[in-house]
Amino acid sequence: MVITELELHNFRNYKSLNLELSKSINVIYGKNGYGKTNLLEAMFLCCIGKSFRAAKDPEMIGYGGESFSVKTGIAENSCSSIRVTYNRAKSKFVEIDGVYVEKLRYLFGNLLGIVFSPESIRTVTDGPDFRRRFLNIYICQLSRDYYYSLMMYNKFCEEKNKILIERSRPDPIEFEVLNENIASYGAKIAYDRMRFVDEVNKTAARIYRYITDDTEDLTVGYVPNIPSLLDEIRKTSGETEDAGNAVQPPEDEKRAEIERIKGVFFADLTSERLVKREFEYGRSVIGTQKDDLDISFNGMNLRSFGSQGQKRSAAIALTLAVLEIMKKSTGRTPVLFLDDVLSELDDRRQRNIAELTKEYQTFYTCAKSDIMRNIGADGTPVNYINVEKLR
């Protein structure tokens, strides 16, 4: 799939813009603060309905305005346009091919997008929130049920937390029903995360070796905050599996596995010791809302022991791994957004990345177009967009 056109109204610093885009490489360049990242943010908004900068929707409305609208024209895809509109009355509207969709989750998977920005390194360097965000923005594009499970899970957790904060002794049946729902949706989330991380691990390891000239190993492991499930994962880690197997298991196997995780999670949630702790602390103590990833190089924790360059290379490897996984599991080519990435890499690394991404429509941003000398060096035509001329 490729984005052929971008139309903006009152989005960030753009009052009104209509831009034609190239199906292969687009380099958006210009001075700092002129709106390069804003363009990527607008396009990515059509993938998941949210900003990749974790900005709140009202922040994207042009100063002093009441609403914004972003529309992408798309080719080589099942739909040919997506429009996201937002107004201050806190309503967000999504239209696919001009037809209004009721739920945000129906947007997911229509336009597949992957982004690497200066913020992406935080997946490796910062707290678990950033790693859960990494999981969420990509798994939701692969599975609409995932987003629904997240919403339902959060809803039941909130209800449970209310009870725990009040520290009132709840009706045991009501409490059990809440835990049952939490275990049920949590198991679906854990299952999707487990499979996705498994794929990321295999693919990112290969890409990281390529980026580092075969000198370093990268491993990515899922660390669920469900103690019994984590024990199981630790016991089985190191067992060999078929490499590169992205094929979905049969539905009944998947259901059985989710049911099994649910049982494990429910048992953890209802153990006497845990319930006692939850009432002591006045909040939920375990669950997928606290999941994490263990990202290591050569057997050492990357966050604690990695250099700046190693962290950066690992973050790029994670992004490119998702790109491959999305393509393999959907049979479609996602769009790649690389915000300010190549300017800090040497020529050889720039060329390696260009080589790894050549079959995808790619949007690069940079402050100066000549930094991009390795882009299109193989003869691929490059569409240069000077943001300074767009205002």
Of the ranges 30-38, 91-99, 176-184, 369-377, which one interacts with ligand ATP (CB under 6 A)?
30-38
Give the nearest distance from C-beta 17 to Mg ion in angstroms.
Answer: 16
Nearer to ligand ATP, 37 or 141 (CB): 37
- Of residues 339 through 358, those in contact with ligand ATP by CB under 6 A are 340
Nearer to Mg ion, 118 or 309 (CB): 118
Give the nearest distance from C-beta 39 to ligand ATP in angstroms.
Answer: 7
Q: Which residues, 6+ apart, have CB-to-CB distance to 238 below 8 Å?
A: none
Give the nearest distance from C-beta 3 to ligand ATP in angstroms.
Answer: 17
Q: Which tokens in the block code for residue 140? A: 């939701």
Indicate the SS3 state at residue 162: helix
Q: DSSP states of 35-79 as a string?
A: SHHHHHHHHHHHHHSS-TT---GGGGB-TT-SEEEEEEEEESSS-
Give the nearest distance from C-beta 116 to ligand ATP in angstroms.
Answer: 14
Single out the residue of 32, 236, 248, 304 in contact with ligand ATP (rule: CB under 6 A): 32
Q: Which tokens in the block code for residue 288? A: 């997928």
Q: Which tokens in the block code for residue 237? A: 């880690």
* 36 forms part of the interface with ligand ATP (CB under 6 A): yes
* 35 forms part of the interface with ligand ATP (CB under 6 A): yes
Residue 203 interacts with, from ligand ATP, Mg ion, none (CB under 5-8 Å by kind) = none
End-to-end CA distance of the chain: 28
Nearer to ligand ATP, 46 or 261 (CB): 46
Residue 35 interacts with, from Mg ion, ligand ATP, none (CB under 5-8 Å by kind) = ligand ATP
Of the ranges 36-44, 70-78, 154-162, 369-377, which one interacts with ligand ATP (CB under 6 A)?
36-44
- Of residues 190 through 219, those in contact with ligand ATP by CB under 6 A are none
Name the H helices within the chain. 36-48, 122-125, 128-142, 144-166, 172-211, 227-236, 251-269, 272-281, 302-305, 308-330, 347-356
* 79 forms part of the interface with ligand ATP (CB under 6 A): no
**Which residue, among 17, 9, 73, 41, has the nearest Cα to 365 in the 3D structure?**
41
* Residue type (1 letter), 352: N
Single out the residue of 15, 16, 18, 33 in contact with ligand ATP (rule: CB under 6 A): 33
Alpha-carbon separation of residue 37 from 113, 154, 297, 337 (angstroms): 15, 31, 30, 10
* 13 forms part of the interface with ligand ATP (CB under 6 A): yes
72 φ, ψ (degrees, to nearest 5): -115, 135
Single out the residue of 19, 34, 123, 212 in contact with ligand ATP (rule: CB under 6 A): 34
Nearer to ligand ATP, 31 or 167 (CB): 31
Single out the residue of 4, 22, 37, 313 in contact with Mg ion (rule: CB under 5 A): 37
Give the nearest distance from C-beta 362 to ligand ATP in angstroms.
Answer: 16
Q: Helix 172-211 to helix 308-330 angle, to the nearest 10 degrees?
A: 110
Give the number of other CB atoms < 10 A from CB of residue 226. 26
Q: Could you give the CA distance from residue 386 to residue 368 in angstroms, rounded to a whole number? A: 10
Nearer to ligand ATP, 121 or 387 (CB): 387
* 367 forms part of the interface with ligand ATP (CB under 6 A): yes
Burial of 239 (0-12, 13-18, 19+ CB in 10 A): exposed
- Of residues 282 through 341, those in contact with ligand ATP by CB under 6 A are 340
Of the ranges 54-62, 81-89, 141-149, 159-167, which one interacts with ligand ATP (CB under 6 A)?
54-62
Binding site residues, ligand ATP, CB under 6 A: 12-13, 32-38, 59-63, 340, 367, 387
Binding site residues, Mg ion, CB under 5 A: 36-37
